[in-house]
Amino acid sequence: MKKISILIPCYNEQESLPLLYKALYDVMADERVASKYDFEILLVNDGSKDSTLSILRQMHKDDSRVSYIDLSRNFGKENAMMAGFDYVTGDCCIVMDADLQDPPEVMFQMIEKWEEGYEDVYAKRVSRGKESWLRRTLSMQFYKILNKMSKVEMLQNVGDFRLLDRRCVEALKSLRETERYTKGLFCWIGYKKAEVLFDRGDRVAGTTSWSMWKLMRLGIDGIISFTTAPLHLATWLGLIISFLAFVYLIFILVKTLIYGDPVAGFPTLICVILFLGGVLLLCVGILGEYVARMYNEAKRRPGYLVREHNDKLV
């Protein structure tokens, strides 16, 4: 029998977990899949500060299909997923959130598509659940910009909720970068993709742990790790401004030669200096973003550390 792994990163999800387990239990007991597949639920505790871990231990005790790994601290969702990919054992792996924003019924369609031979079946949101106008607009603009800049096509309104064939899991395992932007990596690995549509619900319990700031960082991570376009932007800005400055220089030179040089133009001077200062700092900043990532990757630290795996300390 083929085995389906369900991978769920959890951070402070004590309220959602019982509901999640119930929903998954119903899916696994459904006649469409129950007799055809073995199931494994792998929960990754990403350094939760509430009682998530003890709930996971209990779930593992009650149901042998549930396993868990406990990371040594909070490494972030991206790295928690990487840990999950290393530990899942199934022929395919379904990634979903703990808060039931990804409706488990969609899994049936995913599994069907997988049986048709697709290797990466991703769920595309038709609606996005409760969310501020600002966040929605920013997210849309972000995808537009990212797609313009990067060579790999990034899918919009597609999250981490998807089914990955073992092949894709192995491919993702081979990408060991620690500054991860997993949404991009899914697109980068390629393979045969198919989509299923779904309505994204609201969180059943708890609150989102993504602040605007964290989302911005993730956005910058996405851009920096998938395109070097900002670096070229710096080059082009430099070229254009140098050219304009050269033209202006000739203009001033000629003007001075013809009309003499009464000292004036202090405001112009300040404007130019401030403007150029700003552009320079921006370019140095862009360089810095890349250098910082190179620095972090060069340290070759593992993306996560595991403290406990199914009742055994690691």
Give the residues lining the site for Mg ion (CB under 5 A).
97, 99, 101
Q: Contacting ligand UDP (CB under 6 A), which of 4, 9, 113, 186?
A: 9
Please identify, among the stretches 21-29, 73-81, 179-187, 264-272, the one whose residues bind ligand UDP according to the rule CB under 6 A: 73-81
Question: How far apart are the C-alpha atoms of 314 and 309, rounded to whole Å?
Answer: 7
Q: Which long-range contacts (CB under 8 A, 24 or more apart) does 33-37 make?
A: 33/4, 33/108, 33/111, 36/1, 36/2, 37/1, 37/2, 37/3, 37/4, 37/111
Residue 36 DSSP label: T
Question: Binding of ligand UDP at residue 208 (CB under 6 A)?
Answer: yes
Q: How far apart are CA 60 and CA 42, in angstroms?
A: 10
Per rule CB under 6 A, count of chain residues that contact ligand UDP: 16
The answer to whether residue 70 forms part of the interface with ligand UDP (CB under 6 A) is: no
Name the one range near ligand UDP by CB under 6 A: 106-114, 172-180, 206-214, 277-285: 206-214
| By CB under 6 A, residue 82 contacts ligand UDP | no
Would you say 101 or 150 has its CB closer to ligand UDP? 101
Residue 74 engages ligand UDP in binding (rule: CB under 6 A): yes
Query: Which tokens sit at 220?
Result: 């910058």
Lookup: tokens for 75? 């490494």
Output the smallest distance, CB 79 to ligand UDP, in A.
Answer: 8
Q: Which does 98 bind (CB under 5 to 8 A by kind): ligand UDP, Mg ion, none?
A: ligand UDP
d(CA 256, CA 236): 30
Q: Are 189 and 172 in contact (CB under 8 A)?
A: yes
* Cα Rg of the chain (Å, integer): 25
In the list 40, 46, 70, 195, the residue contacting ligand UDP (rule: CB under 6 A) is 46
Q: Would you count residue 76 as binding ligand UDP (CB under 6 A)?
A: yes
Pick between residue 209 and residue 310 the one whose CB is nearest to ligand UDP.
209
Q: Are 201 and 100 in contact (CB under 8 A)?
A: yes
Q: Enumerate binding residues for ligand UDP (CB under 6 A).
A: 9-11, 13, 46, 74, 76-77, 80, 97-99, 101, 208-210
